[in-house]
Each structure stands twice: as C-alpha cells, then as structure tokens.
Amino acid sequence: MHEETSLAKIIDTVLQECGILHDESNKRMLHRSFEKLLEKIGTDKEFFKSGRKTFSFNKTDTKFMKIIIRQLYYGKGIIAQFVDNNLEVSSVKVRDLIQSILDEEDKDGADEEELKHLACFLDKLFNCGALYSIENCHDLIDAIALNLDDLTSTDKIRYLSSLEQVLRSEFVSRITESIINMTAIAELVELSKEACADDIGIQNYTAFDPEIRFEYIQRDKSVLARIQEDDDLRYYIEKKIGKKVESIFNYEAT
C-alpha cells in the first residue's frame, strides 16, 4: 500500500519551508486555489480523494503538489497564470513545468519509475497527448510550406489546393461527427437522470476505474463548455431535448 499525504499537510509543509506566515487564512486560500485549478482543467475532485473526504497524494504526486502550492501562493509560474488568467497551456509551458519538477526531483535523486508515473499524471492533468498532436499537426503544415521550392507557382497552388481539400474534408467529417456525438451524450445524460431518478447531470461514473472515470468526466465537461460557446449548437440540442443545456448537464449537481 502506497503511503499518501493529505493536501492540508502538503500546504503546511510548503508554508513552513518558505517561511510564510502559518495561519488559517493562507491555508484556506491555497485550498480554494487548488480547487479552482481542478475546476479550470475539468478534473474530478474525487479522483484525488479516492473515497476519502480530503485530497490525498502519493509520494511522487506530493513533490509535484508542492510546486503547485508554491506557484499558487506566490502567483507566479504556469499554474498560477493558468488559474488567474485563463492561460492556454502550450506544450512548451508544460515542458517548462516538467523541467521544474525534474529539478525538484534532482534534489532527492530522480527515480525512473517515479518520473514515468509523474509523466502520466501530467499527461492527464493537462491533456498533453492531444496537445502535442495538435501542435505537431501545425508544425507539419509549416514544414510542408517550407519544402515547395522545387515546384512552380502553378504546381504549388495545385499541390496546396489538393492538401487544403483533404483537410477541409476531414474538418467537415469531424465537425459532423462531433455534433452527432455531443447530441447523443446530452441525450444519454438526460436519460441517466430519468433511469437513476436523480438530477445529476455530469455523471460521476463510479462503476469505472478512477483514471477512466476521470477521462469521461473531463469529456462531459468539455462537451458542456463547447455547447455553451456555440449558439447554433446550443439551439439545436436544446430544441431536440427540450431543455436548457445547463439543466441537462446540471454542472452544479456534481
């Protein structure tokens, strides 16, 4: 059984190490800031509670948490900027964060297995896998544009028009599938409330493994955010189901 440390204890340790006034107001502020971070990234709070009433973390995650708490207190770094300014996280910023964690690890002697675990933790926290792929797609388009010197102007236009058509076709296919899927998810969420006789919109997926549950809850929250951003999509789904999306997903009930 892995030894775990509570969020309260981590906060106490950070305040003590940094020589910060060790009072209840600082503790409450940091606890609220951490919960705000979880809300921003769409993380299920129960994922870090594992059935307990309080947040708890294993040895490797505790080192990462200390960095988060420091940044939240001083208002500096990628974590603090993300919480306070709705910073869009890029792969470069995530790599900078990982490097700061590696530096922290170096103080105690880095362990390969711990670092692998930490990489998985960060990947889920910031959705790094998808983030890297999206940035790689942008980079590949730029790389193609830099390797057209062997073509005439007419051939460049012909080649790029063909590539544009492929991308446009993929876009139309993806957005159509996305609308169908988001509508189906909204319908399933509404049906689940009727079947379970509750008013929980975004389900907690308690029957699933914690990591799988985490991904599904993130997905549902992303779907709700996407619908709220798109007036046409909102109108379509609300008309089909006969309810406001906020009522369907009932975010507050979670």
pLDDT in tens, 44-99: 566 666 556 778 877 667 877 888 888 888 887 767 777 776 556 666 776 676 66
* Cα 12 from Cα 128, distance rounded (Å): 30
Look at residue 253 in the predicted model and tell me its pLDDT: 42
Query: Considering only CA atoms, which of 3, 1, 18 is closest in space to residue 66?
Result: 18
**168-185 pLDDT tens trace:** 999 999 999 999 999 999
pLDDT tens sequence across 26-45: 888 998 888 888 777 656 56
pLDDT tens readout for residues 196-240: 777 776 666 777 776 777 788 778 888 988 999 999 999 999 999
Average pLDDT, the chain: 81
- Identity of residue 238: E
pLDDT of residue 254: 43
Quick one: pLDDT at residue 61? 74
pLDDT band, very low/low/confident/very high, at 135 (cuts 50, 70, 90): confident
Is residue 123 within 8 A of residue 86, CB to CB? The reply is: no
Q: What is the pLDDT of residue 165?
A: 97
- Quick: pLDDT tens for 149-168: 999 999 999 999 999 999 99
112-126 helix and 59-74 helix, angle to the nearest 10 degrees:
50
